[in-house]
Amino acid sequence: MSEYGPGGLFLADCPARMVVDLIADKWTVVVLAGLSEGPVRHGALIEMIGGGISRKVLTQTLRRLEAHGLVRRNAYAEAPPRVEYELTPLGATLIDPIHTLTEWARTHGEEVLDALDSAS
């Protein structure tokens, strides 16, 4: 338990909170996963996510991830201009932890839903 800080446990203001807050955003995990296989254009990301996200919200999410150093925006001076988004090396390191979590959900999601059903 000592590794979790002087309180004997990790406290609410530790770095772990920052990453939980970060991935707690409704779209962070989905967008990072969408970029996990290489650079993607804005419109292609919309298609990959498959509805539910507006252009505006995707733009906001990408800017937030850019500000956190996880995503890079590349603008190419072509005609018409091309803009692609890609994971930074730092952003790429977050793919595995997220994958561990989504694998948990895939394996145990039904059990949680069953528990919620019998609790209500």
**In the complex, which residues of this chain contact a copy of itself (CB under 8 A)?**
1, 4, 7-24, 26-27, 29-30, 33-34, 37, 47-53, 66-70, 90, 93-94, 96-97, 100-116, 119-120
DSSP secondary structure string, 83-108?
Answer: EEEEE-HHHHTTHHHHHHHHHHHHHH
Question: Between 80 and 84, whose beta carbon lies closer to a copy of itself?
Answer: 84
The total of other beta-carbon atoms located within 10 Å of residue 70's CB is 22
**Phi, psi of 94, rounded to the nearest 5 degrees:** -90, -10
Question: Which residue, 67 or 77, is less far from a copy of itself as judged by CB?
Answer: 67
Q: Smallest gap, in angstroms, from Cβ of residue 72 to a copy of itself?
A: 11
